[in-house]
Amino acid sequence: MFPFVEKRRIAYLIVGIILLAGIASYFIHGGFKLDIQFQGGTELKYKMANDQFDSAKAQALINKALNKTSSVVAAKSLSTSGATDNFLVVRVSSSEALSTTESLKVTDLLLKNDFQIGLDYSLQGNNVINYTMNDANYDAAKAQELINKATGINTVATAKKVADAKGNNVNLLVVTAPGKTVFSAADVEKVTDTLRHNDYRISLKAGAQTITNISPSIGAEIMRNGILAVLVALLLIIIYIAFRFKAISGWSAGVIASMAILSDALLMISVYLIFQISLNESFIAGVLTVIGYSINDKIIIYDRIRENSLGKKKGSYSEIVNLSIWQTLTRSINTAATAIMSLTVVFVLSTMFQIEAVAQFALPMIIGIAFGMLSSNFIAGPMLGAYKEANAKNNARTGPVKSRR
């Protein structure tokens, strides 16, 4: 049987080293690396025709054109129909948030560089292409000349205004093939590429682009609420354990369990600081989930300590704690290992398939469950055992003094 109580300082040392590394990283990197959800900024999300695009190239183009630092990632999500939608996501922090003009510039830049964002056009009767334009400031005659040269077809390009269902004017560029000539799929692609590459601003399809501006104050509020939720959870844990485990110094057991759980959260934050992983809403959700998982593990150990204490097991309180942890260790390891393996598979697959939201939730869960198992078996239980032993020795010393009085 392993002497958990006697060797508890090894766990304290490991936790201390990680926390110190996290604190050092905090000062080295100038604070936390915050996701746009926390620091605020602009997010442009483009629905792409497929997943055959280079997000690193897009980031380089955008940073150079705007002279700002952006983060560009590829992402996937499942649509209501069950199909996989591909997205290109551009994020810029609040200190460099994009204006409306700059957002349009990003869109034009991506289109000119062959990023296949859904454009608003339709083929009518196989020989007419109707393009919805962003504005009326375009030269239809020049467009006709460029299209004819690119396709070898003597098309006619005309500007046209129509009213939509709400009565608003819509600018169209209508490209018509002569006589019985029909546009093949390749011809439509050539016409579209010609317009894109020559600064003809074709409108995007509905839902092809989403622009989100996040205020830094909103991010700060989300973080405050997250911290408050963690603190409230810890307080409720102390109260619950205090009443459930009166037989083993309930209030002390509750405080010790909360301290161990708080160390889980601090260790998770330290890992994020060390590896410069962005903090976001998924991290807060992960921390709250880990708190629930971790307290369950600690209650099982406390329950066994109570059973062994009331069952009049022979030996010191430290020996009873060591025995109790040893009896539950296999279950604790197996449960944590199963959860970590499952979450690791989820994390790897979601990373491979660029399902960002799932990966961001799975990662803190993996880290938190691993640290939760460590704190349950090597911190919470042993710390309670050490406290009870110290309390017993203190009572033994002060008892005779009180009796003489």
Q: Does 239 reside within a domain? A: yes
CA 221 to CA 203: how far, in whole Å?
Answer: 36
Residue 401 lies in a domain: no
The verdict on residue 158 lying in a domain is yes
Residue 1 lies in a domain: no
Final residue of a structural domain among 181, 203, 225:
203
Count CB neighbours of 217 within 10 A: 10
Name the region of 150 (left: φ>0; alpha: ψ -120 to 50; beta: rest): alpha
- What is the pLDDT, as a whole number, of residue 305? 92
Q: Which tens digits make up the pLDDT trace of 123-167?
A: 998 899 999 998 888 999 999 999 999 999 999 999 999 988 888
**Residues 236, 384 within the same domain:** yes
CATH value at residue 125: 3.30.70
What is the DSSP annotation of 199-226?
Answer: T--BPBPTTSEEEEEE-HHHHHHHHHHH
Same domain, 269 and 193: no
Same domain, 256 and 163: no
Longest dimension (CA), the chain: 119
Which amino acid appears at position 347 of this protein? F
Look at residue 265 and tell me if it is in a domain. yes
pLDDT at res. 98: 86
Domain end marker among 183, 213, 243: 213
Residue 58: both structure tokens together: 């897009």
Same domain, 19 and 79: no
In a domain, 279, yes or no: yes
Question: Is residue 400 included in any domain, yes or no?
Answer: no
- CA 269/CA 243 separation, integer angstroms: 30
For the entire predicted model, the pTM comes to 0.78
- Domain identity same for 124 and 243: no
Q: Are 236 and 182 within one domain? A: no
- Residue 376 shares a structural domain with residue 388: yes
* pLDDT number for residue 381: 93
Provide the pLDDT for residue 313.
Answer: 66
Please tell me whether residues 277 and 353 are part of one structural domain. Answer: yes
Which has the closest alpha carbon to 321: 372, 259, 392?
Answer: 392
- Specify whether 270 is located in the same domain as 133: no
Cβ–Cβ < 8 Å for 235, 295: no
Dihedral sign from CA coordinates of 142, 147, 153, 159: negative
pLDDT at 312: 64
pLDDT beneath 50: ranges in the chain: 400-405
pLDDT reported for residue 50:
86
Asked if 191 and 224 sit in the same domain, the reply is no
259/376 same-domain check: yes
Number of structural domains, the chain?
3
Q: DSSP 3-state assignment of 169?
A: strand
Domain that holds residue 183: 119-203
Q: What CATH number corresponds to the domain at position 25?
A: 1.20.1640.10
**Could you tell me the two tokens for 51?**
């997943």
Domain boundary, last residue among 174, 203, 232: 203
- 87 and 140, same structural domain? no
**Tokens found for residue 365:** 């869960």
2 found inside a domain: no
Length of the chain: 405
